[in-house]
Structure 1
Amino acid sequence: MTKPFHKKYITMCLLLLFIAFANYYGHRVLAENKKSNLTVHFLDIGQADSVLIQTPDGQTALIDSGNESDSMYIQGYLLNLGIKKIDVLIQTHPHEDHIGSMDDIVYSFEIGTVYALDTDYDNRANTNFKEAIERKGYTISHPKVGDSFKLGDACFQFISPKKSKYKKLNHCSLVTKMKYSKTSFLFMGDAEEIAVDEMIDSDDDLQANVIKIGHHGSSGSTPVGLIKKVQPEYAVITTRKNSKIFPHIRTNFNLKVYGVKPLLTAGNGTIVATSDGEKIHMTRSPYKNTDRESLIK
């Protein structure tokens, strides 16, 4: 009687050890997969822009910073994620709804490299931003088309503006493409019309899984030629609730015809794109970088 019991006991022990090993190994794999994910947060700040990028190794980039009134939300969002340093800060162009809080960001966080449009455009937001940069002892780099940089394993390249001067400041927006392994993102700032046509006519590789639509989805932001060249799966549009202007009906129509999934911060809140280098998963998150509700079923 003792031998079968002993054999059964050993079998049970081995089985428990196997389960424990499998759970441990499974959790390690999940942890490693989580560490290999890149996240892009399109902050819900109404008709304004602020995009946070986090690489798997903990580096961060912030593209624009909304209006002055958005300062507390943006800072709170970053601090809630444990962010103390912004490795790359990008000002696409100095309209208030893109850089209104940028002076506060510069004062409140350690900043690495600063990229900004080379312009003498004069408004309070731009003046405050430049003053904050000077007081903190940072310098501003003015990138040209084709300039690039790396943030961890993510590669960035400046696509636009193609010219030094345009009649509309929106056309001057710094447009950036980011590639992470087999996935890519295109951040359009407020680029529209002339600037967009120049990108379409160029030899630039604009293909991207996710496009942050220019100028909140204005009528000239998303022509058919751009959609054909970018071939996005998802289009993020930053706008406020009940807007009668944005996104424009033409933009909505073009996206629908070509099967692009539009995601608006209005109604969805902050939108978070997670890339494992192979696929992108779109979710909504009010604050934390966990427990997100899926936007794409």
Structure 2
Amino acid sequence: MRKFISLLCLLLIVVGFEQPKPTIPTKIEKINLKLLDEELAITFFNLSEGEATLIQNNNGEAVLVNTGNQFSQNELIKFLKLYGVSTINKIIITKMAPDYAGNVDFLCKLFGVKNIIVPHTETNQNISYPARLNYWEEGRIDELFPGVTTKVLQVIDSENAMNVSMKYGKHRFLFMSVASKSLEDELIKKTELKDVNILKVAEFASNNGTSQKLLEAVDPQVAIIFNKTNLYPSADVLERLQGTWIDIYYTRQFGNITIKSNKERYEVITITVESLKEMGG
């Protein structure tokens, strides 16, 4: 019976039991999120390979969390232009691996990036990005934009990675980079996570992480799962997410996913996969 339920959960996400209603017209040339004062937009890109999340404020400033795999470079350029990005203030790399840091060099040259943030465990002397490298240690707190703060909750030496949270008003985003139940146990013991609204699931929803214990400690309202070719989310992870009544947004199914918020409320805006295909994404 459990195997049947797990398979059903996987099919609901991958195939789509009910297609989301597009909130933006199918023919897309440019997206204006119309951010007002004290509004923020966090967009999770539907890249075919890797993770990239765009954070924008109403002043036109932009920060990118991860850059996807180099095989998604053309998609990433199109998406950044689609959302009106001409300059990227900072790039935050949560894991020094191809699916997260594959496009840093060309982004620096094309979008005038001045600062790149990496885990303090990064010691590769061959890195020669045309931008300043900043090394974040566990406990580090930074302000991305006025009122938007990040905190490094955990640095994983063996993975050259870090788990980071971002706080804005009543909202807290948790960017998990490594799927490991033992690391999640450590995180739960030393960090209060109950105020997390949105969880970015680690490693494309690998079954190595996103444990029931973590979900109970975080109790998020929304979970974001990124896409990777020929790799589907673990049926067990999907079952745990659905059993906790979390709204699951899988980029392969929903396309680009934007959380638009002020300090009090947020809404989820999706741009369907069909729309992205029409624009060549």
Gaps (5+ residues) in structure 1?
1-30, 288-297
* Letter aligned with residue 159 of structure 1: L
For residue 176 of structure 1, give the secondary structure of its aligned residue in structure 2.
strand
Match of 2:132 in 1: 139
Judging changes above 3 Å, is the alpha-carbon distance between structure 1 residues 68 and 43 closer, same or farther for their aligned structure 2 residues? same
Distance of 2:48 and 2:221 partners within structure 1: 23
> Secondary structure, in 3 states, of the residue corresponding to 1:71?
helix
Q: Runs of 5+ in structure 2 lacking a partner? A: 1-32, 274-281
Give deviations 1:177-226, integer Å, cap 9, x for gaps: 11111111111123433322211121344631111100110112211111
Q: 2:251 aligns with which of 236, 251, 265?
A: 265
Out of 49, 65, 68, the position equivalent to 1:66 is 68
Residue 264 of structure 1, CA deviation: 0.2
SS in structure 1 at match of 2:114 = strand
Q: Larger helix proportion, structure 1 or 2?
A: 1
Q: What code does the residue aligned with 1:251 have? A: V
Contact 1:66 / 1:97 at 8 angstroms: preserved in 2?
yes
Structure 2 residue aligned with 1:285, among 264, 271, 277?
Answer: 271
Contact 1:183 1:208 in 2 (8 A): yes
User: Of the candidates 147, 154, 163, which is equivalent to residue 160 of structure 1?
Assistant: 154
CA distance in 2, matches of 1:70, 1:63: 15
User: Is 1:239 the counterpart of 2:227 in the alignment?
Assistant: yes
Q: Is the 8 A contact 2:51 2:66 kept in 1?
A: yes
- Give the conservation status (yes or no) of the 8 Å contact 2:49–2:72: no
> How many angstroms apart in 1 are the aligned matches of 2:54 and 2:247?
21
Give yes or no for contact 1:177–1:206 (8 Å, CA) kept in 2. no
What number of residue pairs does the alignment pair up?
Answer: 240
Q: 1:38 to 1:175 in 2, by over 3 A?
A: same
Q: What is the TM-score when the length of structure 2 is the normalising length?
A: 0.78
Equivalent positions of 1:192-203 (< 5 A) are 192-203=180-191
2:239 alignment partner, SS class: helix
Q: CA deviation at 1:279?
A: 1.9
Structure 2 counterpart of 1:86 = 88
Deviations 1:39-69 (A, max 9, x none): 1110001341001111233222111111112
| SS of match in other structure, 1:246 | coil
Read off the aligned partner of 1:143 and give its amino acid letter: W
Q: Is the radius of gyration larger for structure 1 or structure 2?
A: 1
Instruction: Report the secondary structure of 1:179's partner residue.
Output: strand
RMSD (Å), alpha carbons: 2.4
Contact 1:33 1:276 in 2 (8 A): no
In the TM superposition, residue 286 of structure 1 has moved relative to its aligned partner by 5.9
